[in-house]
Amino acid sequence: MQQPSPHIWNKHVETMDRASLEALQLERLQETVRRVYQNVPVYRERMQAAGVEPGDIRSLKDLRLLPFTQKTDLRDNYPYGLFAAPQEDIVRVHASSGTTGKPIVAGYTQHDLQVWAEVVARCLGCAHVHKNDTVQVSYGYGLFTGGLGLHGGAERIGAKVVPTSAGNTKRQLMLMQDLGTTAIACTPSYALLMGETMRDTGMDLSKLKLRTGMFGAEPWTEGMRDQIQNLLHITALDIYGLTETMGPGVAMECMEGRYGLHIWEDHFIPEILDPATGEPLPDGEMGELCITTITKEGMPTIRYRTHDLTCIIPEPCPCGRTHRRIRRLHGRTDDMLIIRGVNVFPSQVEASIVGIDGIAPRYLLVVDRVNNLDVLEVQVELAPELLADEVRKIEDLSRRVQRSIEQVLGLSVKLRLMEPGSIERSEGKSKHVVDKRKLYD
């Protein structure tokens, strides 16, 4: 066995042997189940209806006796119905924006914030970010967990934090250069926007000290990673988390493995479920990620259905961490479009166009229903360096892009190449789908 990576933040926990880690998980799971049973009527009623009591959790396998928690449960019990700690112990709330209706609210005790900073500190270690680094946090600050979540971890490791929040890109880039930022955290689409702005304004990359980036809060592909790395001249790593289970920092890709994200199993128990049946799937099989928090006090979540698609990678990682990895997120079960009976994920379209010369990684799927038949139009942006009058070249490109998308989707599509810069940019989560079929429902 080779030596564990010297960059590990908490060597004792991150390299703990599996048997000790699992014993710790069971102890914390039992404690969490007891606590929600006592303090959260919704959980108690559900468990009673399922005929299970806290004492029935005797092994980690017994987790599957417990009922699931869905996003709708968080909405239905808005704002404090799922809190397990007394209100006076809650020191912060965050909320995730919903497109309709009420947001979901998460509450944190002092201890929860300490745990959050600890797991984000581990994530920074995964990206080889240390005390001597200058970390620019370009996630939004506020009710969204991204900004303050990364902030807490970066302060915990003793780095110099530059809390720019999202937006005002040119100013971000100026500060990045002047303050000597070495690491950045934001959404991947915002990183791409920054990279494009650098290129378009002719910024001198040699004046930057930027070395690494931690990107998350939306699914992204290997192709997008290549684009970001090329534009910003950094190593781009994936960080995962969600407000319902804490925020960013639940799992993180490590520099040594760069394949899959270590999920901090002393705080979160992952399960992979068949999205249709809810039955747990074996390691290595793709399905829906379901997370149970085992140390959260403010708002623990039991078997929370994330609707994120991934699988567990059971093989050990070269970095020496023993916490298992989940594969990079592969879209969401609820992003899935069913078009003429075929399951389509927007991330597949992205994967199929990235790397084609002359094409920018910007796309929009427009789904419509014409004469009772679903029609998928894929709009793809041309790269700015391609001159618009090179008609023959564009026709050839059009054929290649269409073939590439159709091969991946297994579906015929109508392709529309768009002028550079014409598909809407976003500083937060990118919108990739317009589904007009809803008009007919």
Q: Which residues bind Zn ion (CB under 5 A)?
A: 254, 257, 317, 319, 321
**What's the closest the beta carbon of residue 145 comes to Zn ion, in angstroms?**
24
**Shortest Cβ distance from residue 255 to Zn ion (Å)?**
8
In the bound state with Zn ion, the residue whose beta carbon lies nearer, of 319 and 405, is 319
Category of 197 on φ-ψ map: left (φ > 0), alpha (ψ -120 to 50) or beta: alpha
**Any bridge partners for residue 375, and if so which?**
368
Residue whose structure tokens are 């930027």: 210
Q: Which is nearer to Zn ion, 254 or 351 (CB)?
A: 254
Can you count the helices (H) and strands (E) in the chain? 11, 20
Nearer to Zn ion, 104 or 251 (CB): 251
Q: How far apart are CA 429 and CA 140, in angstroms?
A: 11
User: At its nearest, how many Å lie between Zn ion and the CB of residue 18?
Assistant: 15
Distance in angstroms (rounded) separating the CA atoms of residues 232 and 305: 35
Q: How far apart are CA 95 and CA 102, in angstroms?
A: 10
Q: Which residues contact 135 (CB under 8 A, 6 or more apart)?
A: 124, 129, 150, 154, 159, 160, 161, 162, 181, 182, 183, 184, 185
Give per-residue burial for 336-365: e unless 16+ CB within 10 Å, then b: ebebeeeebbbbbbbbbbbebebbbbbbbb
Contacts of 28 (CB under 8 A, 6+ apart): 266, 294, 295
| First-to-last C-alpha distance (Å) of the chain | 59
Q: Considering the complex, what minimum distance in angstroms separates the CB of residue 321 from Zn ion?
A: 5
Nearer to Zn ion, 254 or 367 (CB): 254
In angstroms, give the least distance from the CB of 126 to Zn ion.
7
Would you say 361 and 399 are in contact if contact means Cβ atoms under 8 Å apart? no
Nearer to Zn ion (CB atom), residue 137 or residue 319:
319
The C-alpha atoms of residue 37 and residue 84 are separated, in whole angstroms, by 9
The least CB distance from residue 5 to Zn ion, in Å, is 7
Smallest separation (angstroms) from Zn ion to the CB of 315: 11
* Cα–Cα distance list, 217 to 61, 150, 240, 243 (Å): 30, 12, 7, 10
Which residue lies nearer to Zn ion by CB, 324 or 332?
Answer: 324
Which amino acid is present at 100? T
Helix (H, G, I), strand (E, B) or coil at 57: coil
Residues near 407 by Cβ (< 8 Å), separated by ≥ 6?
352
CB closer to Zn ion, 228 vs 251 = 251
Q: Which is nearer to Zn ion, 28 or 258 (CB)?
A: 258
Residue 258 Cβ vs Zn ion, minimum distance, rounded to whole Å = 8
At closest approach, how far in Å is the CB of 256 from Zn ion?
5
DSSP letters of 93-154? EEEE--SSS--EEEEEEHHHHHHHHHHHHHHHHHTT--TT-EEEE-SPPSSSHHHHHHHHHH
Residue among 388, 439, 441, 440 at smallest CA distance from 417: 388
| Residue closer to Zn ion (CB basis): 257 or 331 | 257
Q: Which residue's CB is nearer to Zn ion, number 195 or number 257?
A: 257
